[in-house]
Amino acid sequence: MGGARPSDRVARLIAEAGTDEPSATRELGLAAVQVWQALSRSRAVAADGAEVAILFTDLVGFSSWALHAGDDHVLRLLREVGDVSRTAVGRHGGTVVKFLGDGMMAVFADSAEAIDAAAEACTAVSAITLDGYRPQLRTGVHLGRPKRVGRDYLGVDVNIAARVADAASGGEILVSGPALSTVDTERYVVRRRRWFRAKGAPRDLEVFSVVPRG
């Protein structure tokens, strides 16, 4: 019998970093390791069926880096990323719904606040350094009416938001057409993603790379 699988080690470190319970949304496939859920205190949680902006974040290349990094480095990274991401969400009136391995899901009443929180989190994460390693966050925002189950959110719109985030590059904020349509685009530099295809997302879904001005 060999030792523990690398993915088991990373999952254990994620658990030690402060997240709590296995999540039922494992099928989203955002993380390469076991999905873990953590609940945060909320300023305002939307009612079931209410329109919310859904933000997903994910560390680019985390699993590959974690396989070779020391346990202390992995734990420190996860905690620092979690702290700055939670702070960015809270500053913009959002609610952290769950942590998903090296990323998270959050909801907002306003798409602009979700975009601004994503930008703040990307900047804060890129400022973290660990023995020469600079993590990069990718993010996605979608507006929809997911089904609320307890403090979790499920449904097609959650899947779409996850796929939008998964298509982003490091440091990039991808925003779906429905989310972008509700914000003042003069506040942002907007570039359409000409090719976006993702399992579970509508074939005609438009996705835009968005950068806040200033």
Q: How far is CA 120 from CA 139, 156, 173, 175, in A?
A: 11, 27, 11, 15
Kindly report, residue by residue over 158-193, the tens digit of the pLDDT: 999 999 999 999 999 999 999 999 999 999 999 998
- Residue holding tokens 């703040």? 120
Q: Give me the residue spans of the domains in the chain.
A: 6-212
CA–CA distance, 207 with 140 (Å, rounded to integer): 9
Sheet with 207-212, edge to edge strand ranges? 95-100, 103-108, 52-59, 137-144, 173-176, 207-212, 188-193
Q: What is the pLDDT of residue 27?
A: 35
Asked if residue 79 has pLDDT above 50, the reply is yes
Check residue 214 and report its DSSP letter: -
Kindly report, residue by residue over 105-119, the tens digit of the pLDDT: 999 999 999 999 999
Asked if residue 69 has pLDDT above 90, the reply is no
CB neighbours of residue 132 within 10 Å: 5
Report whether 128 contacts 72 (CB < 8 A).
Answer: no
Estimate to the nearest angstrom the gap between the alpha carbon of 101 and the chain centroid.
Answer: 10
Report whether 11 contacts 75 (CB < 8 A).
Answer: no
Q: What is the pLDDT of residue 30?
A: 36
Q: Which helix (H) or strand (E) is 100 found in, with range?
A: strand 95-100
Q: Which CATH number fits domain 6-212: 3.90.79.10, 3.40.50.300, 3.40.50.10490, 3.30.70.1230?
A: 3.30.70.1230
Asked if residue 24 has pLDDT above 70, the reply is no
Which residues make beta-bridge pairs with 147?
154
Asked if residue 49 has pLDDT above 50, the reply is yes
Which residues make beta-bridge pairs with 106?
55, 96
Spatial CA neighbour of 136 closest among 128, 126, 127, 146: 126
Binning the chain into helix, strand and coil, the percentages to the nearest 5 are 35, 25, 40
Hey, what are 116's tokens?
């601004």
